[in-house]
Amino acid sequence: FDFECPGVTSMSVDTHKYGYASKGTSVVLYRHNELRRQQYFSFSKWPGGLYATPTIAGSRPGALIACAWASLMSLGESGYKTRVRSILDATQTIAQAVSGIPGLYLLGGTPHAMIVCFGSKEFDIYRVGDKMTKRGWSLNSLQRPACIHLCVTLKTVSFASDFIEELRDVVEEVQNEGDDGKGGGSAALYGMAGSLPA
């Protein structure tokens, strides 16, 4: 999605994630200046006079801005395109593997970006997430429906086959445990949260 789609009014870019810059920098792009003006915070009773800033955090360190600029310029458009292609290829590889693991299903169908989200109607998916975390993988638990997702990054690309292999092992482990493995970690937290009224 970009500004060629009529309903898109803003886009955000976390330059520290896929821009390979230091943490602490992000970009928000607006379709129109009128929308951007709504973001500003101003305070007229500050002892130093009128204080206005376009961000909640106030002023930003110049070093972070310079670092983000240097990262963007260093990689250039071709560098980013190469990285994006490898990330999207790895995402598709992982998604296809997930859809082939008995007991798992993809949420939202085939991913069009770098997130692979999956759940299960047969067992507690949070147990899978907990076990993958213990093996060193960084997965995020979500709810309604209960699911977990992997954000595929450049670092993930070279470990995609390892992730798939370990996910298969963990799913088999959870299936073999049956209900005996329930009740701890995020499974308890998200299971309880999912049962609360919305």
pLDDT digits (tens, 9 = 90+) for 51-79: 888 877 777 788 998 999 999 999 999 99
The C-alpha atoms of residue 164 and residue 149 are separated, in whole angstroms, by 13
What pLDDT score was predicted for residue 158? 97
pLDDT digits (tens, 9 = 90+) for 122-151: 999 999 999 999 999 999 999 999 999 999
Residue 178 CB-density burial (10 A; 0-12 exposed, 13-18 middle, 19+ buried)? exposed
pLDDT band at residue 182 under the 50/70/90 scheme:
low
Name the region of 60 (left: φ>0; alpha: ψ -120 to 50; beta: rest).
Answer: beta
What pLDDT score was predicted for residue 5? 94
pLDDT band at residue 38 under the 50/70/90 scheme:
confident
What pLDDT score was predicted for residue 191? 52
Q: Is the dihedral of CA 67, 72, 76, 78 positive or negative?
A: positive
Percent of the chain with pLDDT over 70: 89
Among 97, 89, 95, residue whose Cα is nearest residue 107: 95
| Total-model pTM | 0.78
Average pLDDT over residues 78-92: 97
Domain annotation for the chain: domains and CATH numbers = 10-75 (no CATH), 81-195 (3.90.1150.10)
117/59: higher pLDDT: 117
What pLDDT score was predicted for residue 25? 86
